[in-house]
Amino acid sequence: MTQNKKINRNILRSSITVSRNISGHKFVPSMDPAESVECINAVSNALRYVDKRFYPIKYEERNMSEYLYLYEKSLTSLPEKEKKQHSAVFVREDDNLSVQVNHTEHIVIHAVNDPLDFDTSFSDAYSMERILQHFFPFCFSTGRGYLMSRPEFSGTGLTASVLLHLPATVRTNRTGIAYKLSRELKMVLKPAFPEKKALPAFFILENTNIKGVSEEDTVGLIYDACKELCSMEEQAQADDLSDNNLVIKTQAEKSFNTLKNVDSISENIFINMMSLIRYAAESGIFSRLNCNQIDKLLFSSMNGGVLSGRNHTDKADDADHLRSISIKRFIGQEDDLSC
């Protein structure tokens, strides 16, 4: 499988998720706590034989800041709060690959790369899948493919997705058209971070479970759908900028200066400001930071980034204040580099 790796400025990240269940174990919803621990231990023992080191994060330890960080990087799903089964995430030391245990399925492998590199993600995910299969067989049916706890998801067990920034589509009221186009292409388009209640300019585009379509063809389909949505965004941007160029530039400069000087800023306001600044940078009317720098700042200063590894119950570690410190430090470093 080879895809054109031309970088599109509206694409922030690509990822491949591969789900599997271990033969001889009950599906996750039917597991008791002891069985779920047995599953975690089996995966943990297998990962000891992998070349690159993995570190574990257990939800039972209530380190939600770590989970937020991994969730924002597309390396895990958020754990369910009320769940009798034990769960864990094992993360590779480069933070580009994770193995999630006992979420919806026994094993969910997440491989993440920037920005549209499905080749690397595909290789990473399936290399890990082959390694784990050496230690335990997966549930597989000749007629239905890999079996899932939710039968409608049985098949390849593959989800390919991209994280898109589509601000002009939103600003010109074409979101409904984008949703319709995605459905026609057998894809799902949804807000990237719905729980943050920020403006919906960041989206996830991912495949549905299409029976009889191979893993390689699935990736090809989402790649084509991604190109269609980015083309729509490009046209929407041209229409929007023809009327609002100066306004957007002024708003982006104002947002940038606010970020440099404010002592405390909420996550939702921060995300919305970064979306506006990135939109201006995408269109070439804002040059203080480029898109790659903006993406780095965005994800390092979300809640998961600023709280990761901290005792966030401490009043001194208020997330809104920590976010401002992170922003100022980052912008200062970029200013030094540009001199």
In the chain, what are the domain boundaries? Answer: 11-232, 244-338
pLDDT digits (tens, 9 = 90+) for 183-216: 998 899 999 888 776 667 999 999 887 777 888 8
Q: Exposed, middle or buried: residue 35 (CB in 10 Å: 0-12, 13-18, 19+)?
A: middle
First-to-last alpha carbon distance for the chain, in angstroms, is: 42
Residue 159 β-bridge partners = 17
Closest among 207, 211, 209, 208 to 222, alpha carbons compared: 207
Arithmetic mean of pLDDT, 305-332: 76
Residue 239: pLDDT band (50, 70, 90) is: very high
Q: What is the largest CA-CA distance in the chain?
A: 63
- Round to whole Å and give the CA distance between 37 and 101: 10
| CATH architecture classification, 11-232 | 2-Layer Sandwich (3.30)
Judge if the upstream peptide bond of residue 194 is cis by omega within 30 degrees of 0. no
| pLDDT of 130 above 90 | yes
Nearest to 282 by CA among 327, 229, 233, 331: 233
* pLDDT value for 209: 77
What average pLDDT score do residues 81-91 get?
A: 82
**What SS3 state is found at 64?**
helix
Q: What is the mean pLDDT of residues 134-162?
A: 89
Q: Angle at Cα 108 formed by Cα 104 and Cα 112, nearest 5°?
A: 130
The band of 307, judged by pLDDT with boundaries at 50, 70 and 90, is: confident
Torsion of CA 37, 42, 44, 45, to 10 degrees: 140
pTM of the model: 0.85
User: Residue holding tokens 């995910």?
Assistant: 125
Contacts of 51 (CB under 8 A, 6+ apart): none
Q: What is the pLDDT of residue 67?
A: 80
Which pair of structure tokens corresponds to residue 40?
């975690």
pLDDT in tens, 30-69: 999 999 999 999 999 999 888 778 988 876 665 677 788 8
